[in-house]
Each structure stands twice: as structure tokens, then as C-alpha cells.
Amino acid sequence: MKNKIVLLNILLFILFSCSSDNDDNDDIDVINKPESKTQKVIRRLSIKKLTYVDSNQSPQYQTNTYEFSYENGQVSKLTDLEQVGSYRDFEYDNDKKLIKILKYNKNELDNTVELFYSDNLLSNSNTIKKGEIVHKGNFHYTQNLLTMSESCLDDSCSSKFTDYIYTYNSTNNIESISAYTFKDAYLYDQKINPFEEYNPYFKIVTNNDLYLTLSHNNRVREDFYYDNSSVAEHSIIYTITYDNENYPLTIEGKDAVTGEFKASYAFEYQTIMVDQEK
């Protein structure tokens, strides 16, 4: 009988010891696990733009529908659903700096963009195709606001060097982008730019490619100036519909005078979990 009691006590001791250890481990996991928050992000973005009017006066359009994939709160992949096998993979370092973009066409690697930094500021990039650098980007800042110059080493480039000057208004929206003898100027709403909380380096490399990602708000007017004229050659008015959180759902741009369609954007959203910085 004594032996049975001793054995029972030993079993109870082991059982409670394991339970205590597990509780301790659970506490450690809770301490080490970063806090998470929900973030509203883009699931799909459809862009349609008038590219040119052919000899029969028939308008020709380009349509791209991008599907966004995320990893650790960052955009990891952009897939163009309109073109089979066309996508971009984005790679980041441990500090969430974007360090590489792999661009695929027809499921084959077309080119690679490598990005370099000076402290936390993106300083330059190289685009490599078939082992050769075909494009260089240099990024400059005035009070942390971006300007950029590009040099193209590919024979197909119409211009070998372009200096882009970005000016900003008091709310840090891009007021204009100019290069050579042209300038695009913008006016904005007071609603949320859907890229507002995105990785800052991702926004730099996609600005004006996907959207005006570097601005805080959404453009409602765009004026185009040429040959250093102070009078706009033409203008686009953007009409925007919003969801109940004031994020844009649809944007349609038409010529301010003729009403001719120029561009449209359609956003679909989703919610993801993002680890918060400690």
C-alpha cells in the first residue's frame, strides 16, 4: 500500500511540474510575441489608360489588373492578371528596406532591380538585364522629400538621362513633377490615399507607376504643361467614389474640356494582420 501511495505522489509531482513548465513557456511566448494590428490594404488594383488614338480615330487603351500579395505586412508580389506570367517579386532586409525587385515576363525573369541605401534613405538603384546594367536611378532629398534622376544605358532608350524634380505642398502632397520642358501639376481631395501606410521604399519605386503613392491624398485634377508654358496644354478631372472609411473605390479621369475618357482606377481591399514595432 505504501508503495502505491509513493508512486501516486511521484506521478502527481511530475504532472504538476509539467503543467507549471508549460505555463511558464506560455508566459514567455506571450512576452516574446509582437503585438499585432489590423491594416486595410489593397487586394486588387485595376488601371485603364488611354494610350493613343489610331489613324481611324479609334482610342486604344492599356489595362492592368494588379493582385497584391503580402508577407509580414509588406508587399511581396504584384501579379498582373491581364498578362499571363507577368509579375514582380519584392525582397526586403531585416529592417524592412526594399533591396531587390525581380520582374518576370511570361514566367521568365526579365530584369532585376537592386536598391542601395545611405542610412535609411534610398540612394540609388541598378536595373540589370541579361547581366548588364541597363538603367540607373539616383534618389535625392530636400528635407526628406524626394527628387530623382535616371540614366538609361540601353540603346532602346529615347533619352539617356532624365532629371525629375518633385515639388510638394504644405501637406506633403506632390504638387508637381517636372522634367525637361514638361510639368505635371496636381490638386487633391482631403481623403485617404490607399497607399498611405505602405512601406516607404515600396512607395518610392512605384510612385506614378501604380498611383501617386507618395502623396497623402488622392488627386482630383492633373494639369499638363509643355515648353515651360505657364498655361496648361490640357487637364484631367478625376471623379472619385469612396467607401464608408473614405478610401477610394473608383476613380475616373476625363478631359476637363472635351470629357474624353483618359484613365480609371478601381480598388478592392482586404484586411491583414501586421506586427507592430516595439
SS (H, E, C) 246-275: CCEEEEEEEECCCCCEEEEEEEEEEEEEEE
* C-beta separation of 42 from 267 below 8 A: yes
Cβ atoms 166, 192 nearer than 8 A: no
> Would the pTM of this model clear 0.75, i.e. be above it?
yes
pLDDT of residue 228: 84
Q: What is the pLDDT of residue 153?
A: 83
Question: What integer pLDDT is reported at residue 26 of this predicted model?
Answer: 53
Sequence length of the chain is: 278
Give the pLDDT of residue 121.
94
- Which phi-psi region, left, alpha or beta, contains residue 12 (left: φ > 0; alpha: ψ -120 to 50)? alpha
Q: Return d(Cα 141, Cα 143) in angstroms, integer.
A: 6
Rounded Cα distance between 243 and 240, Å, is: 10
The pLDDT of residue 154 is 77
Predicted local confidence at residue 116, as pLDDT: 98
Q: How many helices (H) and strands (E) does the chain have?
A: 2, 16
Chunked into runs of 10 residues, the chain (278 residues) has average pLDDT values of 47 47 52 77 98 90 97 96 97 97 97 96 95 94 85 76 90 92 95 96 95 97 94 96 97 97 98 82
**The pLDDT value given to residue 6:** 47
Question: What pLDDT score does 7 carry?
Answer: 45
**What pLDDT was estimated at residue 147?**
87
107: its cell numbers: 514566367
